[in-house]
Structure 1
Amino acid sequence: MLMTILALAWPTMLEQFMQTAVQYIDTAMVGSLGTRAMAAVGSTGTVNWLIGSTISAVGVGFLAYIAKAFGAGEETAAKRAVSQAVLITLILGIFFTAVTVSLSGMVPVWMQVDVNIREMASQYFLILYLPMLPRTASIIFGTVLRSAGDTKSPMKIGVLVNLINVVLNFLLIYPAREISLFSLRLQVWGAGLGVIGAAAASAIAFTAGGICITYVLWKHPVVSPRGQGFSPDMQILRPCLKVAFPNMLQRFGTSLGYVAFAAMINSLGETSTAAHTIANTVESAFYIPGYGMQTAAATLAGNAYGARDGRRMKDLASVFIPLEMILMICSGACLFFTAPGLMRLFSASDEVIRLGTSVLRMVAVSEPFYGFSIIIEGFMMGVGRTKTPFVYNITGMWLVRIVGTFICTQLLGLGLIFAWACMIAHNLLLFVLFFICYVRGVWNPLSTSVQTG
């Protein structure tokens, strides 16, 4: 079982590592342009979470359905679900393109971005969201492939997307210049577009990724939608959306909370915005073990549920939970000790480095607790129990993080450290709630003691 878990998890971890590495490179490249450029790029980043997580929630609905179908040996039903995933991808991609493009001028205003950088932030946002259809395809089709046990194809495409992004960043952000390569002096072409160049590089890379993953899905020997109808099939969509809807509300609600959280931090000034943006980027690398394992947990739990194998479900928990806790303890310790050096990679400002280091060391201590929550939530997504995580996450986000941050920053005049303290309190509350959920057996629909959840 351990080998099966690792075989599913490592490609997802590598894919997320590559994505995070590119985030690091993007942040470092934009950071070299100055604090204002960093603030312009980071100020609307939480809107990306809002949109991306909403789309991902739809993918969770298909993941639960397809993983369960494969576990029960119903491959035809799984393929029919993939064709419906294609239909939903088209609808969501077109819808979010229209919404993001039409609102690109207003988003920086709603996010309380400094008036001096609003135009730059608006242009960055507009370019980044023009390829919303291929971005939607990458998210949903990637989830479909993982639900069938294919985590390597999304990983390979993710590597390609990241390489394209890095190369284009190098060419589009900076002007023409001379670089040293060993003993050689080379003249390198550059467009000198700055923040706009970073947005264009990401947009082109997203488009390439969407095209590639659509091709891979279409040619896939197990889950290709070829030969299936693409008209709405409510027998498939109804159970998928039943799982997806609570998860969508959860992700939308928590992501909207991230937007409110970031808006309050933006109101603290450029230094806090830059420190928050960099710290978020740094922190994301250290959640890779957690979310890589969550994907494997969701897929294997869905398979076990489809096969009605209660013993296997319990065995999965007995392996996943200690493995996840060990990984997140190591990850948190690494973040704690490397925080100052990592902050220096992205900023030359002593104040930004000091502030970012403080909040990163605070959150590092809470990582093992958050890792437990991630795994239990993964099990519940895989078996289609998304209502309970919705209640837990919305409660923690809005009653602890947002209310707490509002009181600290807007009423008491406190700074970024107190805002992140509220975020950590949110994570610890999730640990308590999911631990109770685990002890009661609510996470497991095959438990003889729990029939609903």
Structure 2
Amino acid sequence: MQKNLLGRIRKGESFTFGELLLLTWQLSVPAIMAKITTVMMQYIDASMVGMIGSNAAAAIGLVNSTTWLIGGICFAMSMGYTIQLAHAIGAGEDVKARSLVRHGLMAVLVFSLVMGIGSALCSAPLTVFLGGTSEIVHDAAVYLAIYALGLPFLAVNFAAGSMLQASGNMKVPSLLSVLMCVLDVVFNALLIFPSRSVELWGQGIWIPGADLGVAGVACGSVLAEVCCMAAMLYVLLKKSRQLHYRQEKCLPWQGELREAACLGFPIMLEQFVMGSAYVAFTRIVSPLGTVALAANSFAITAESLCYMPGIGVSTAAQTLVGQSVGAGRSKLAQRFGYVSASLGITVMLLMGIVMYICAPLMMGLLSADAAVIQAGAEILRIEAWAEPLFAAGIIVTSIFRGAGETRMPTILNLVAMWGIRIPLAVYLAADYGLTGVWTAMCVELCARGILSLGVLVYRGEGLYHKNKAKIAD
């Protein structure tokens, strides 16, 4: 059913509203599950780190924003190829699509390798710059260095999964994300803690352990990513009907790289804007103390479970809009955009309600420290009010990307993050501490969502005429 509906985009057939909603939902569900399992991996990491102590949690929390920054820049490189890929598939240009897969994977690998080595070399001074105390800077630097050296595996895994999603295959990336979550648990159990005996159903079981602490968290995640990357590449290059590797003449890579740079540079700038703002946000929180830093880190992890459904819907939106634009169907692309935005806002409204009610429970799963749980629950309930408009910002960004317009999201995020969130957080932190900082975040997310929806409506059908959209069906 899903494949039949996707095929109708390329064939120029019409869609009812129910079919638009059904196809968007069918593509969203596996993407949502993939994102949720990714967050569950973060939950597992956070929960296991919480067993080590609040200093370990604070060490990881200190560099989380930096890992988002360097990961996001690599993400931008892959998106430059993924957007082209969706357009090529929509236009029925399968040879070009396979060429984009090969050249895109190579470009992502080289770029992320350079990025990872450079980040690893800067890990120690960076943790001092971020305001880490003497108790946590060493662990934070080790965690960041290991993450950076594993960045090529993470980037290639993401690129391969995004390419499968661009072709409409949401199930494989979702299933492999589940596998990565399971492997992360196994590797963490073996690497974080020392060898020990545990009792299971009345039987003593000896479990070997490397006792690496915070370093074990990073190593476990990297090993899980390596396994997932290998499986993702196998499916993409061997099993995918449209995209698998074939002995055929490869198209010139220079034009693809230029287009990827044109599409990817605004996304890279956007990721730098967002990532540097997260770093600044961490810099604002870190002087508030270890409890505040740990609560901030755990609350970000807890909140991410609630906004992952919005990101899942945005993944479907980018695929559907991208293929519609590639097929030259501007009106259909616009309809998919509106349906995706409405669906994402509705889903995240429900998730916001869940987050508000379950905030203490969510924090309790991540930390045993009563002060951290109380502080984290309070700021999660502030953030819950922003979830529907947060969804709007996320999904509109993907709609723009699917249409090949990557500059406008950068402008919107620059205005929101550096024009609203950071100045307001600095102002409120002095009097209200962590709650003031998260109030600033809530205000900014609401403003970003309103601005994004306004621009989407204002641009109208003209947005989807960019690049390859030729026919107003």
Tell me if 1:312 matches 2:354.
no
Letter in 1 for 2:233: T
Query: C-alpha separation between the residues in 2 aligned to 1:209 and 1:186?
Result: 28
Tell me if 1:427 matches 2:432.
no
Given candidates 278, 281, 290, the residue that maps to 1:270 is 290
The alignment's TM-score, normalised by the length of structure 2, stands at: 0.90
Query: C-alpha separation between the residues in 2 aligned to 1:378 and 1:248?
Result: 14
Query: C-alpha separation between the residues in 1 aligned to 2:275 and 2:376?
Result: 22
Moved more, 99-108 or 206-215: 206-215
Query: C-alpha separation between the residues in 1 aligned to 2:250 and 2:74?
Result: 19
Alignment of 1:122-271 (within 5 A): 122-219=141-238, 220-227=240-247, 233-271=253-291
Q: Which residue of 2 aligns with 1:298?
A: 318
Contact kept, 8 Å, 2:65 with 2:278, in 1: the verdict is yes
Q: 1:307 to 1:170 in 2, by over 3 A?
A: same
Given candidates 387, 391, 399, the residue that maps to 2:411 is 391
Letter in 2 for 1:305: V
Query: C-alpha separation between the residues in 1 aligned to 2:138 and 2:451?
Result: 42
Contact kept, 8 Å, 2:393 with 2:453, in 1: the verdict is yes
Tell me if 1:55 matches 2:74.
yes
Query: C-alpha separation between the residues in 1 aligned to 2:284 and 2:338?
Result: 41
Contact kept, 8 Å, 2:36 with 2:309, in 1: the verdict is no
* SS of equivalent to 1:44: helix
Q: Which residue of 2 aligns with 1:114?
A: 133
* SS of equivalent to 2:339: helix
Stretches of structure 1 lacking an aligned partner (at least 5 in a row): none
* SS of equivalent to 1:115: coil
Query: C-alpha separation between the residues in 1 aligned to 2:197 and 2:262?
Result: 57
Tell me if 1:437 matches 2:455.
yes
Displacement of 1:250: 0.6
Moved more, 154-163 or 291-300: 154-163
Query: C-alpha separation between the residues in 1 aligned to 2:133 and 2:428?
Result: 21
* SS of equivalent to 1:20: helix
Query: C-alpha separation between the residues in 2 aligned to 1:306 and 1:6?
Result: 21
Query: C-alpha separation between the residues in 1 aligned to 2:174 and 2:157?
Result: 11
Q: Which residue of 1 aligns with 2:10?
A: none
1:13-55 superposed Cα distances (whole Å, 9 cap, x missing partner): 1111111111111111110111111111211011111011111
Displacement of 1:176: 2.4
Stretches of structure 2 lacking an aligned partner (at least 5 in a row): 1-19
Query: C-alpha separation between the residues in 1 aligned to 2:98 and 2:294?
Result: 45
1:188-236 superposed Cα distances (whole Å, 9 cap, x missing partner): 2222222222222112112222232223222133113443677962222
Contact kept, 8 Å, 1:55 with 1:139, in 2: the verdict is no
Query: C-alpha separation between the residues in 2 aligned to 1:418 and 1:186?
Result: 47
Displacement of 1:294: 0.2
Contact kept, 8 Å, 1:108 with 1:121, in 2: the verdict is yes
* SS of equivalent to 1:160: helix
Given candidates 22, 38, 50, the residue that maps to 1:31 is 50
Displacement of 1:252: 1.2
Displacement of 1:443: 7.1
* SS of equivalent to 1:441: helix
Contact kept, 8 Å, 1:87 with 1:232, in 2: the verdict is no
The percentage of counterpart residues that share the same residue type is 30
The alignment's TM-score, normalised by the length of structure 1, stands at: 0.94
Moved more, 214-223 or 24-33: 214-223
Displacement of 1:310: 2.8
Contact kept, 8 Å, 2:295 with 2:373, in 1: the verdict is yes
Q: 1:311 to 1:128 in 2, by over 3 A?
A: closer
Query: C-alpha separation between the residues in 1 aligned to 2:217 and 2:363?
Result: 20
Query: C-alpha separation between the residues in 2 aligned to 1:221 and 1:309?
Result: 24
Q: 1:232 to 1:391 in 2, by over 3 A?
A: same
* SS of equivalent to 1:190: strand
Q: 1:176 to 1:350 in 2, by over 3 A?
A: same
Q: Which residue of 1 aligns with 2:421?
A: 401
Contact kept, 8 Å, 2:63 with 2:144, in 1: the verdict is yes
Displacement of 1:129: 2.3
Letter in 2 for 1:75: D
Query: C-alpha separation between the residues in 1 aligned to 2:260 and 2:177?
Result: 26
Query: C-alpha separation between the residues in 1 aligned to 2:436 and 2:314?
Result: 29
Moved more, 24-33 or 303-312: 303-312
Query: C-alpha separation between the residues in 2 aligned to 1:44 and 1:225?
Result: 38
The number of equivalent residue pairs is 447
Contact kept, 8 Å, 1:32 with 1:346, in 2: the verdict is no
